[in-house]
Amino acid sequence: MQKKLTRPEVLAPAGTLEKLKVAIQYGADAVYIGGQAYGLRSRAGNFSFEEMAEGVAFANAHHAKIYVAANMVTHEGNENGAGAWFRKLRDIGISAVIVSDPALIAIAASEAPGLAIHLSTQASATNFETLEFWRRLGLERVVLAREVSMEELSEIRKHTAVEIEAFVHGAMCISYSGRCVLSNYMSLRDANRGGCSQSCRWKYDLYDLPYGSERHSITGEIPEAFSMSAVDMSMIDHIPDLIENGVNSLKIEGRMKSIHYVSTVAMTYKKAVDAYLESKETFEAIKPALVDELWKVAQRELDTGFYYGIPDEHKQLFGARRKIPEYKFVGEVVDFDAATMVATIRQRNVIMEGDTIEFYGPGFRHVDTVIHNLRLAQTDERIDRAKNPMELLHIDVPFAVSVGDMIRKSGAGLINLYDQKTGETKTVRARA
pLDDT in tens, 18-66: 999 999 999 999 999 999 887 765 555 689 999 999 999 999 999 999 9
CATH number at residue 252: 3.20.20.70
Query: Is the same domain home to 69 and 162?
Result: yes
Q: For residue 4, what pLDDT is reported? A: 80
Q: How far apart are CA 202 and CA 200, in angstroms?
A: 6
Distances (CA, A) of 172 to 45, 179, 260, 373: 21, 13, 20, 43
Q: Which residue has the higher pLDDT, 140 or 417?
A: 140
**pLDDT band at residue 338 under the 50/70/90 scheme:** very high
pLDDT in tens, 244-275: 999 999 999 998 899 999 999 999 999 999 99
Q: How far apart are CA 327 and CA 351, in angstroms?
A: 12
Query: Is the same domain home to 117 and 237?
Result: yes
Query: Is the same domain home to 42 and 105?
Result: yes
Least confident of 164-168, 187-191, 284-288, 400-404: 187-191
Instruction: Report the candidate in 393, 388, 340 with the shortest Cα–Cα distance to residue 371.
Output: 393
Query: Is the same domain home to 291 and 393?
Result: no
| pLDDT beyond 60 at 417 | no
CATH number at residue 401: 2.40.30.10
Q: How far apart are CA 232 and CA 298, in angstroms?
A: 8
Q: What is the mean pLDDT of residues 408-421?
A: 54
Count of the separate structural domains present in the chain: 2
**pLDDT band at residue 238 under the 50/70/90 scheme:** very high
Q: For residue 405, what pLDDT is reported? A: 98
Q: For residue 428, what pLDDT is reported? A: 43
Domain that holds residue 398: 327-410
Query: Is the same domain home to 339 and 293?
Result: no
Q: What is the mean pLDDT of residues 195-207?
A: 73
Query: Is the same domain home to 148 and 247?
Result: yes
Residue 322 counted as domain residue: no
Residue 26 counted as domain residue: yes
| pLDDT beyond 60 at 320 | no
Of 315, 342, 370, which residue sits at a domain end? 315
| pLDDT beyond 60 at 1 | no
Instruction: Report the candidate in 104, 139, 105, 99 with the shortest Cα–Cα distance to residue 121.
Output: 99
Query: Is the same domain home to 291 and 357?
Result: no
Residue 129 counted as domain residue: yes
